[in-house]
């Protein structure tokens, strides 16, 4: 039971702060109505960090009612768009002031290296809020002439109360991808964090209030997916659901959202291909393909987890890929400056990844390197969820290890003989999130980029992501786009107003 709404915490890297633990509704923290809780664990040590309140369906209702009331309240509805943008700008400034604290919390909660959280996650999170603060007063409708007496104009309006459900791999940054465009467009929000990483978003809640957002505009809750998440998706006053997570959960959400025909955007799983052609710059291809699957412990929805390499360069590529693992993939806890790969986020996730490794072995794939838990040198991390970076070859396209998303530091490397074959096999998946192409042939680069079934393609790179550039998937990797101008489409709707100026016709 979380008996207090704030606890005093010192992070392993020495930051002292007050961790809120309650449900943030109407700009105030409150306990869960049932007293149920979530215990957040440090994945490097398996020890508890903090216990937070978990929302029930009744709490979700309170949060949605708050968001509904705020939607029509003059402090938000009539707030000039420029001032809305300024509020968001203030939030970005406050996040910047707390950059080190946020990085420490997310590193601790999720297992990623502190330096990565500090320089990559936080930069992305702050930039996203700042980017969308600029859009707040730059979304307009159109004027459309029809006849001499009549015309119409369109107004871009918020969708209403938006329910947002986020995952645990980039806790704070995923929250900003959802909050940025929703707030820029004037919606009100109930956002639910993932139960594996509940902490940083509650600190963000304190900044929402400090920045001056009116009560009820942003409500932040923790809770279990099947209870709080499902209650949010089914709530009749929620106009839209935006979700990032697994394809299986997205399927459930789509079914539940059908009850009230909710507007939905989904960003789900992937089994993204990376293709290396014989004319590629091999050093670059190795560097990026290692980064594309081994960074963030492979817990990336766009991880390039199927690497197709032209048969003529396969042996050299494999040698260099193994070298990259040996020199780069240093495993350790979040606080060691040399750590490249931290522990998997939870024991469940760790076991899931190890089970996939066993399946691959049973299916007859050849283990090139890794394939087992990593035993840390430091005794305090003995119970951590560490896994060695793992590479399989001799994999066929129908093996589970080649078809299913592992979400860990596990990659399959597959030979191919022709461009046609590489594209056909890259597209032979139910997913379509990211894809990467390595070649120095300009024509081939753009030809393949056009032919690959994916929402995003990297040419001679992997995992580039920027708030200005649309992000999302095709096929079973999702519906709709986040980020960029395209991200605004998901959070606004167009109303047409027909005007009759003449009384003669
Ligand atoms: P993973 O399997 O990687 O943990 P999920 O898709 O289950 O990913 O979780 C992503 C988010 O979806 C989390 O915030 C989780 O609480 C939420 N969630 C899980 N199940 C449901 C559900 N049935 N309805 C709504 N949200 C859910």
Residues of the domain holding 95: 6-143+158-269
Number of domain units in the chain: 2
- Write down the pLDDT at residue 3: 61
Tell me which residue has its CA closest to atom 21 in ligand 1.
Answer: 225
Among the atoms of ligand 1, which is closest to the Cα of residue 246?
A: 6
Q: Quick one: 233 and 293 in the same domain?
A: no
- Write down the pLDDT at residue 503: 79
How close is the Cα of 245 to the center of ligand 1, in Å? Answer: 6
Return the structure tokens found at 50.
């903090």
Among the atoms of ligand 1, which is closest to the Cα of residue 166?
A: 14
Decide if 467 contacts 132 (C-beta within 8 A): yes
Q: What is the pTM of this model?
A: 0.97
Residue 124's Cα: distance from chain center in Å? 11
Whole-number Å distance between alpha carbons of 346 and 351: 9
Predicted confidence (pLDDT) per residue in 103-139, tens digit: 999 999 999 999 999 999 999 999 999 999 999 999 9
Q: Which of 191, 229, 257 to mutate to test the pocket of ligand 1 (most atoms within 8 A of CB)?
A: 229
- Write down the pLDDT at residue 505: 52
Residue ranges of the chain with per-residue pLDDT less than 50: 1
Whole-number Å distance between alpha carbons of 165 and 233: 9
How close is the Cα of 32 to the center of ligand 1, in Å? Answer: 19
Q: Quick one: 49 and 97 in the same domain?
A: yes
Q: Quick one: 353 and 277 in the same domain?
A: yes
CATH of the domain at 362: 3.40.309.10
Residue 149 covered by a domain:
no
Using CB distances shorter than 6 Å, the residues near ligand 1 are 165-167, 192, 194-195, 225-226, 229-230, 233, 245-246, 249, 252-253
How close is the Cα of 225 to the center of ligand 1, in Å? Answer: 5
Among the atoms of ligand 1, which is closest to the Cα of residue 193?
A: 14
Q: Quick one: 319 and 198 in the same domain?
A: no
Whole-number Å distance between alpha carbons of 484 and 464: 14
Residues 6+ apart with CB under 8 A from 72: none
- Choose the final residue of a domain: 204, 234, 269: 269
- Residue 462 phi/psi, 5-degree rounding, is -155, 140
Q: Quick one: 358 and 284 in the same domain?
A: yes
How close is the Cα of 249 to the center of ligand 1, in Å? Answer: 6
**Sign for the pseudo-dihedral over CA of 292, 298, 304, 305:** positive
- Write down the pLDDT at residue 2: 53
CA angle in degrees (0–180, nearest 5) for 229-231-233: 70
- Write down the pLDDT at residue 232: 98
Residue 479 covered by a domain:
no
- Choose the final residue of a domain: 241, 269, 297: 269
Residue 136 covered by a domain:
yes
Q: Quick one: 253 and 348 in the same domain?
A: no
Q: Quick one: 218 and 309 in the same domain?
A: no
Q: Quick one: 280 and 241 in the same domain?
A: no
Among the atoms of ligand 1, which is closest to the Cα of residue 165?
A: 14
From the candidates 267, 388, 405, 489, which is the catalytic residue?
267
- Residue 483 phi/psi, 5-degree rounding, is 65, 165
Residue 498 covered by a domain:
no
Residue 168 covered by a domain:
yes
Q: Quick one: 334 and 419 in the same domain?
A: yes
Q: Quick one: 114 and 190 in the same domain?
A: yes
CATH of the domain at 252: 3.40.605.10
Q: Quick one: 139 and 288 in the same domain?
A: no
- Choose the final residue of a domain: 254, 269, 284: 269
Decide if 410 contacts 356 (C-beta within 8 A): yes
Residue 484 covered by a domain:
no
Predicted confidence (pLDDT) per residue in 438-448, tens digit: 999 999 999 99
Write b or e for each residue in 469-492: b if 16 or more Cβ atoms lie within 10 A of its Cβ, otherwise e. Answer: ebbbbebbbbbbbbbbeebbbbbb
Q: Annotated catalytic, 453?
A: no
Decide if 56 contacts 23 (C-beta within 8 A): no
Q: Which of 190, 199, 243, 249 to mutate to test the pocket of ligand 1 (most atoms within 8 A of CB)?
A: 249
Whole-number Å distance between alpha carbons of 94 and 6: 20
Whole-number Å distance between alpha carbons of 106 and 113: 9
Residue 486 covered by a domain:
no
Residue 148 covered by a domain:
no
Return the structure tokens found at 389.
């970076």
How close is the Cα of 493 to the center of ligand 1, in Å? Answer: 27
Report the first-to-last Cα separation within the chain, whole angstroms. Answer: 71
Q: Quick one: 284 and 201 in the same domain?
A: no
- Write down the pLDDT at residue 1: 46
């Amino acid at each position: 039971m979380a008996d207090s709404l704030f606890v005093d915490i010192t992070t392993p890297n020495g930051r002292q702060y007050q961790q809120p633990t309650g449900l943030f509704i109407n700009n105030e923290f409150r306990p869960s109505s049932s007293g149920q809780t979530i215990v957040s664990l440090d994945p490097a040590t398996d020890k508890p960090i903090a216990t937070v309140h978990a929302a029930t369906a009744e709490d979700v209702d309170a949060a949605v009612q708050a968001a509904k009331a705020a939607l029509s309240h003059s402090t938000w509805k009539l707030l000039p768009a420029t001032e809305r943008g300024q509020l968001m700008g203030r939030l970005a400034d406050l996040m910047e002031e707390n950059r080190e604290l946020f990085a420490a919390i997310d590193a601790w909660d999720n297992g990623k290296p502190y330096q990565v959280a500090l320089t990559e996650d936080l930069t992305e999170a702050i930039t996203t809020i700042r980017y969308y603060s600029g859009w707040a007063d730059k979304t307009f409708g159109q004027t459309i002439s029809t006849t001499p007496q009549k015309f119409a104009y369109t107004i871009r309006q918020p969708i209403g109360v938006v329910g947002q459900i986020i995952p645990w791999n980039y806790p704070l940054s995923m929250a900003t991808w959802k909050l940025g465009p929703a707030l820029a467009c004037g919606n009100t929000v109930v956002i639910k964090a993932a139960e594996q990483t509940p902490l940083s978003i509650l600190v963000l809640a304190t900044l929402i209030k400090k920045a001056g957002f009116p009560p009820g505009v942003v409500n932040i809750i923790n809770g279990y997916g099947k209870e709080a998440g499902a209650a949010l998706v089914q709530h009749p006053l929620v106009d839209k659901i935006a979700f990032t997570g697994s394809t299986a959960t997205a399927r459930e959400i789509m079914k539940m959202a059908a009850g009230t025909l909710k507007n939905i955007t989904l960003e789900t799983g992937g089994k993204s291909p990376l293709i290396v052609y014989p004319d590629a710059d091999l050093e670059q291809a190795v560097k990026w393909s290692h980064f594309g699957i081994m960074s963030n412990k492979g817990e990336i929805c766009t991880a390039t987890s199927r690497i197709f390499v032209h048969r003529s360069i396969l042996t050299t590529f494999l040698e260099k890929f193994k070298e990259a693992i040996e020199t780069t993939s240093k495993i350790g806890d979040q606080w060691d400056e040399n750590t490249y790969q931290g522990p998997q986020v939870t024991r469940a996730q760790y076991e899931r990844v190890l089970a996939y490794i066993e399946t691959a072995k049973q299916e007859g794939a050849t283990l090139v390197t890794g394939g087992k838990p990593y035993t840390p040198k430091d005794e305090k991390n003995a119970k951590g969820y560490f896994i060695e970076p793992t590479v399989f070859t001799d994999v066929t396209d129908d093996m589970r290890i080649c078809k299913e998303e592992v979400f860990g530091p596990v990659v399959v490397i597959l030979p191919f003989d022709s461009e046609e074959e590489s594209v056909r096999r890259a597209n032979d998946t139910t997913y379509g999130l990211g894809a990467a192409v390595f070649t120095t042939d300009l024509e081939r680069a753009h030809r393949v980029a056009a032919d690959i079934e994916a929402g995003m393609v990297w040419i001679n790179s992997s995992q580039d992501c920027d708030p200005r550039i649309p992000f999302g998937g095709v096929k079973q990797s999702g519906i709709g786009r986040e980020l960029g101008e395209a991200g605004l489409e998901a959070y606004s709707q167009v109303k047409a107003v027909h005007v009759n100026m003449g009384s003669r016709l």
